[in-house]
Structure 1
Amino acid sequence: MARLDRRGLPLSTTSDLAAGRYRDGVDLLLSAWPGAAEVLEEAIAADPDFALAHAARARLHAIRAEPAEARARIAAAAEIAARHGTERERSHVEVLSLAINGRPARALERALAHADAWPRDVLVLSLPLGAFGLFAFSGMADHDQARVDLCERHARHFGADDWWFLTYRGWSHAENGAVEHGRALALRGFELRRENANAAHALAHAMYEAGAGEDAEGLIAGWLPGYDRAGPLHGHIAWHAALAALERGDAERALAVYAEHVQPSVSAGMPVNVVSDTASFLWRLRAYGHDVPEGLWQAAAAYAARAFPDAGFAFADAHMAILEAAVGDRDAVGRRAAALTALVEAGALAAGPVVPAICRAALAFAEEDHAGCARILEPVAADVARIGGSGAQREMLEDMLLLALMRGGEAAKARALLDRRLHRRPSPRDAAWRGLLAA
């Protein structure tokens, strides 16, 4: 009897135990839930020649920023799949191998082709999706639309009760502007599997885009205590609660959430989340008129310097520059911007010139050269989406431009930007800033 994965695709293993552990491990991986590593290791122990179990373990290593381990695991998977894998399994391993070995453009191309042939192979279909997926980090300005298009192209292959597909279809629509539709889809995915950090995360994003910060705080307060601190999204989902509290003016509550869940000393999240969450929260705290407690900038910058010492990862670079500028390390920002400019000139940075421009703008803003910040950031504002991430994460850069315009004497341009934002996402903060402009 053929062993099948959770969505009915055949598995090349002779072990019922290995197949069962693989199904459970992939569920845990796709829901960002603790225990995936241990369960996948049990699948490998039950059948050491099970290529897809090695491949899933490689993917988990990559998610956890363990590149050497990921490369070793995917090499093992490729060797096994070449010997006795099916065509689907060989293609599955190839796509993961391209992503893990630093060939994202080719990985995206092959992932889309693989999804056309085997749309229910969700570990591969997941690669282009999400805020940190292959689409987001492709350098495309329209990656939000690309994710929606991908989900809709394959929606017919998934029923109304596939918790994973509902989660990512909903997140994609909410990020692309169909907020209520996306929220409803993500909520259905969450209801089907509450032990799913990606669904809680998708809902938090949909609520943010709807301007429903108190709904997000309520959701997270009720759900987060059941999600172990070892979960990769624990700190990031708490960041959403801190952001919501900050938006409604409760800096004390926001700082308490940050201290308990988000700051580097307490978070077990992926480095890219820890760096972006700390940088963007502290920047917003100060930009919204609150004091940043002593030592928080320095702790975040010290962690970031270890996590991303070299330039070339656009999303991280934008946040690195904010941290470096905040602690007064002008030379570090200059080196990062210069290195990024060289990569742009060599055609080696997919996100393009917007990235070094963000670095220079962050330094100008930190040094209160608001007119200079606006001059740098305004011409590239339409390309900020090219760095990847989510709307909630990138909105900080729009806030930077808005404040630079306000403080640099460009009130008319600031009002126009606020008018455009009003049609996209309601925010109590924008109302306060409109009041300042009117005064």
Structure 2
Amino acid sequence: MAKFDTYDLPLSTASDEAAALYREGVALMLSAWPGAAEALDGAIDADPDFALAHAARARLHAMRAQPAEAHGRIVVAQEKVGSTHTEREAGHVNALMLAINGRSQETLASALAHVERWPHDAIILSLPIGAFGLFAFSGMADHNQAKVDLCARHAAAFPDDDWWFLTYYGWSLAENGEVARGRTMLERAIGLRRENANTAHALAHAMFESGANDAADALIANWLPDYPRSGILHGHIAWHAALVALERGDADRALAIYADKVQHSVSLGTPIHIVSDAASLLWRLQAYGHAVPEGLWQDAADYARDAFPKPGHAFVDAHMTLLEAATGDNAGLFRRIAALDEMVANGALGAGGIVPAIGRAAQAFAGGDYAGCVRILEPMAADVARIGGSNAQREFPEDMLLIALMRTAETEKARALLDRRLHRRPSPRDSRWLSGLAS
């Protein structure tokens, strides 16, 4: 009897157990919930020739920042795909192979072509979307719109009660300015499947985008205790609670959350989240006028240097420059900026000149050269989206420009920027700053 995945796509396995465990493992992977590895390993044990189970296991290794394991497993998946597997399964494995081998442009082209034929192949459709997806890290300035367009194009392929698609369509809409519509989808999604870290995370983003700080705080307080600390997004969702604390001016609470859930010594998240969350949170604390306890900057910088020894990832590099500037590692910062400049000149950095510009601005800001920071960032403000990530994660360069404007008495420019931000997203902190400029 034929076997199928959750979306009724045929699976080339003769084992009912393997098919059931594959469906379970994929659902857990798409919801960023612990247990996916065990389910997929069980599917492989039940049918060692099941190519898609090997491919999903490779994808999970990649998501967990385990490149050697991901490469090994995708090679097995490629070996297993043959005359006994369908064209769709072969294309699925090929797209994941390209992704795992870091061939981003080819992966994007392959994934988009694949979902034109099989739009409800959720693992492949997931590759371009999300804050760390192929669109976000493509260097595009309009990646938020691209994500919305892709979801809208394939919405008809999914039922109205599909928790995974509602999550990513809703999040894409919220990031692209349709916050109310996106939040409605996300609240429906979390009602359909509460054990879903991706939805809780996306809903926290939607609440951030609308300035709904009390709702975000309540969501995280009620939901996070039920999410195992081994969950890949546990520390990052806690980071959102720390942002709410900072919005309220409560630095002690933000630091307590950092120490308990976000810092590398306690978080089981991936390095990209740990580094970006630490750098941006500590930077916000200091820039907003709060003291960063002795040793925290250096501790975060030491971890980051080991996790990402080489430049070349726009989103990571932007955060690395914050750490290097804050710790006075001028030699490391100069080397990074020089390497990034060379990549930009050679066309090897999709995000372009905004990345070394953020590094130079961070150095100027840390050294008290606020006028220099403004000169660097102001002409490039529209390019910040090109580093990827979410709107919340990319707020720090705009904050840097805004604070530099205020500290150089560029009152009219600072007021105009605050007015735009408050029109987009109500913020107690921005309201306080605006009142201060008016007085």
TM-score bracket, normalised by the shorter chain, equals over 0.9
Q: Distance in 2 between matches of 1:83 and 1:394?
A: 46
Q: Distance in 2 between matches of 1:396 and 1:192?
A: 34
Identify the residue that residue 38 of structure 1 maps to in structure 2: 38
Identify the residue that residue 356 of structure 1 maps to in structure 2: 356
| Per-residue CA distance 1:281-325 (angstroms, 9 max, x = gap) | 111111111111111111111110011111000000000000111
- Tell whether 2:249 aligns with 1:239: no
Aligned AA (2:3): R
Q: Distance in 2 between matches of 1:379 and 1:311?
A: 24
TM-score, scaled relative to structure 2: 0.99
Specify the SS of the correspondent of 1:432: helix
Q: Distance in 1 between matches of 2:67 and 2:82?
A: 22
Specify the SS of the correspondent of 1:391: coil
Q: Distance in 2 between matches of 1:418 and 1:82?
A: 58
TM-score, scaled relative to structure 1: 0.99
Identify the residue that residue 320 of structure 1 maps to in structure 2: 320
1:235-384 equivalence runs, <5 A: 235-384=235-384
- Tell whether 2:169 aligns with 1:169: yes
1:36-435 equivalence runs, <5 A: 36-435=36-435
Q: Distance in 2 between matches of 1:21 and 1:181?
A: 34
Q: Distance in 2 between matches of 1:390 and 1:349?
A: 19
Q: Distance in 2 between matches of 1:105 and 1:187?
A: 33
Aligned residues: 439
Asked whether the equivalents of residues 6 and 23 of structure 2 are also in contact (C-alpha less than 8 Å), the reply is yes
After TM superposition, where is structure 1 displaced by more than 2 Å over at least 4 residues in a row?
none
Identical counterparts, % of pairs: 68
Aligned AA (1:294): E
Q: Distance in 1 between matches of 2:377 and 2:15?
A: 57
Q: Distance in 2 between matches of 1:91 and 1:124?
A: 9
Q: Distance in 2 between matches of 1:74 and 1:273?
A: 24
Aligned AA (1:242): A
| Per-residue CA distance 1:159-181 (angstroms, 9 max, x = gap) | 11100000001000000000011
Asked whether the equivalents of residues 61 and 67 of structure 2 are also in contact (C-alpha less than 8 Å), the reply is yes
Specify the SS of the correspondent of 1:223: helix
User: Structure 1, unaligned stretches of length 5 or more?
Assistant: none
Specify the SS of the correspondent of 1:62: helix
| Per-residue CA distance 1:220-250 (angstroms, 9 max, x = gap) | 0011011010000000000000100110111
Aligned AA (2:87): E
Aligned-CA RMSD value: 0.8
Specify the SS of the correspondent of 1:128: coil
Q: Distance in 1 between matches of 2:372 and 2:144?
A: 30
Specify the SS of the correspondent of 2:243: helix
| Per-residue CA distance 1:389-436 (angstroms, 9 max, x = gap) | 000000111100100111123212111111211221110111111122
| Per-residue CA distance 1:367-390 (angstroms, 9 max, x = gap) | 111111111111111000000000
Q: How far 1:83 moved relative to its partner?
A: 4.4
Q: Distance in 2 between matches of 1:332 and 1:112?
A: 38
Q: Distance in 2 between matches of 1:79 and 1:383?
A: 42
Q: Distance in 1 between matches of 2:220 and 2:395?
A: 21
Name whichever of 252-261 and 26-35 sits farther off.
252-261
Q: Distance in 2 between matches of 1:347 and 1:359?
A: 18
Q: Distance in 2 between matches of 1:288 and 1:356?
A: 24
Q: Distance in 2 between matches of 1:213 and 1:100?
A: 37
Specify the SS of the correspondent of 2:82: helix
Asked whether the equivalents of residues 67 and 100 of structure 2 are also in contact (C-alpha less than 8 Å), the reply is yes
Asked whether the equivalents of residues 422 and 431 of structure 2 are also in contact (C-alpha less than 8 Å), the reply is no
Specify the SS of the correspondent of 1:166: helix
Specify the SS of the correspondent of 1:393: coil
Specify the SS of the correspondent of 2:222: helix
| Per-residue CA distance 1:32-76 (angstroms, 9 max, x = gap) | 001111111111111110000000000011011111111111111
Name whichever of 83-92 and 270-279 sits farther off.
83-92
Name whichever of 378-387 and 77-86 sits farther off.
77-86
Q: Distance in 2 between matches of 1:320 and 1:80?
A: 40
Specify the SS of the correspondent of 2:203: helix
Aligned AA (1:353): G
User: Structure 2, unaligned stretches of length 5 or more?
Assistant: none
Aligned AA (2:165): F
Q: Distance in 2 between matches of 1:253 and 1:385?
A: 29
Aligned AA (2:397): L
Identify the residue that residue 29 of structure 2 maps to in structure 1: 29
Aligned AA (1:109): A
Q: Distance in 2 between matches of 1:409 and 1:356?
A: 26
